A and B are shown apart, each in its own frame.
Chain A
Amino acid sequence: DSGVTQTPKHLITATGQRVTLRCSPRSGDLSVYWYQQSLDQGLQFLIQYYNGEERAKGNILERFSAQQFPDLHSELNLSSLELGDSALYFCASSAGTGTGGQQPQHFGDGTRLSIL
C-alpha cells in the first residue's frame, strides 16, 4: 500500500460529460502529480501541484483541469469527454517540489475511466 488514495476506482460515463477524480496524498507529502496511462500513449505526465500551487504542466488538454486544496487533496476535472479520454488516471505524491533534489513519487492504484 503506497498510502496514496484515489477515488473512485472505476468510472463509466458518456461522451460530452464531466467527471471529477479525487486523490489523497501520503501523509506529509506536499506535492501531487497526475498521470494518464493509455495503451497508445503509455504513462504521460499531466500536471503537478505543490502545497496548492501549480508547479509543472505536461501535455494536459484544455478540457482538463486540476487543483490542490488546503488539506492537500487534489482533484482532476475532465470535461467534454471524448472516447479517446478512456484511460487509467494515476495520482502520485512526493514530499517535496523537486528543488534541491527530486523526491520519490509514490502512486495510487488509479481511476479507470471508461467513456461509452
Chain B
Amino acid sequence: GENVEQHPSTLSVQEGDSAVIKCTYSDSASNYFPWYKQELGKGPQLIIDIRSNVGEKKDQRIAVTLNKTAKHFSLHITETQPEDSAVYFCAASIARGGGNKLTFGTGTQLKVEL
C-alpha cells in the first residue's frame, strides 16, 4: 500500500522566516495531496491541497509544490507568524473503487519563535 514519509519531524523558525516541510510518497497512482494543520486539542484542519495535474498551488502565505517524477511534494509557509505554530501533516490519496482513503505522513511540529 501507499507509504508517506515526512521531514523534518520538528522545525523551529524565527517569526518572519520561511518554513518548508517535505513529503515523499511511494505509489505513483496517488493523485491527490492535501496538507493539514493540527492544533492542540483540535482535529486536523485542511489548509491547502494539490492534484496531480498541477505542479504548484498558492494561497496567500502558503504554497505547495508537487514533483510527480520524484514522487515528492512540499509545503512552503512564508512570513511565518506565531499562530502558524502547530503540527502539520501531509497526506496522499488514490481514488480507487469509490474509496478515498488518506495516507498520512508522521507530522512536523512547527514552532515559530518571536
Q: CB within 8 Å of B: which residues of A?
A: 2, 4, 31, 33, 35, 42-45, 48, 50, 55-56, 58, 90, 92, 94, 96-110
Contacts and interface: CB of A to CB of B under 8 A. Distances in A.
Interface of B: 31-32, 34, 36, 41-46, 49, 51, 89, 93, 95-107
A108 B44 CA distance: 8
Contacts, number: 81
B103 A102 contact: no
Contact of B98 (A45, A55, A103): A55
A45 B19 CA distance: 28
Given A48-B100, A55-B99, A97-B98, A102 B43 contact: no
A97 B43 contact: no
Contact of A50 (B44, B96, B98, B102): B98
A98 B42 contact: no
Contacts of A108: 43
A43 B103 CA distance: 8
B97 A56 contact: yes
Contacts of A42: 104-107
B98 A105 contact: no
Contact of A56 (B41, B42, B89, B101): B101
A99 B70 CA distance: 25
Contacts of A94: 100
Given A94-B100, A98-B96, 18 more contacts: A2-B45, A35-B102, A43-B107, A44-B104, A48-B101, A55-B97, A55-B99, A56-B97, A56-B99, A90-B44, A96-B100, A98-B93, A98-B99, A101-B32, A101-B51, A101-B95, A102-B31, A105-B100
